[in-house]
Amino acid sequence: MGSTERIRNVAKRVAKWARAGHQMVVVPSAMSGETNRLLGLAKELAPARADSAYNRELDMLAATGEQASSALLAIALQAEGMESVSYAGWQVPIRTNSAYTKARIESIDDQKVRGDLAAGRVVIVTGFQGVDDAGHITTLGRGGSDTSAVAVAAAMKADECLIYTDVDGVYTTDPRVVPEARRLQTVSFEEMLEMASLGSKVLQIRSVEFAGKYKVPMRVLSSFTPWDIDINVEAKSGTLITFEEDEKMEQAVVSGIAFNRDEAKISVLGVPDKPGIAYQILGAVADANIEVDVIIQNVSKDGKTDFSFTVHRNDYARTIDLLKDKVLPALGAQEVTGDARICKVSIVGIGMRSHVGIASKMFRCLSEEGINIQMISTSEIKTSVVIDEKYMELAVRALHRVFELDQPAA
CA 97/CA 130 separation, integer angstroms = 9
What average pLDDT does this structure show over 123-134?
96
Burial tier of 128 (Cβ tally within 10 Å: 0-12, 13-18, 19+):
buried
What average pLDDT does this structure show over 109-121?
97
Of 76-85, 92-101, 195-204, 376-385, least confident by mean pLDDT is: 195-204
pLDDT in tens, 285-310: 998 889 999 998 877 677 788 899 99
Give residue 409's pLDDT: 63
CA 114/CA 18 separation, integer angstroms = 15
Taking 50 as the threshold, does the pLDDT of residue 247 lie above it?
A: no
Q: Output the CA angle 221-226-228, nearest 5 degrees.
A: 105
What average pLDDT does this structure show over 6-20?
96
Closest CA to 237 of 176, 174, 156, 163: 163
Kindly report the number of other CB atoms within 10 A of residue 217's CB atom.
Answer: 17
Strands 122-125 and 84-87: parallel
pLDDT in tens, 159-206: 999 999 888 999 999 999 999 999 999 999 999 988 888 877 788 888
Show the domains of the chain with their CATH numbers: 4-247 (3.40.1160.10)
Closest CA to 162 of 113, 215, 89, 217: 217
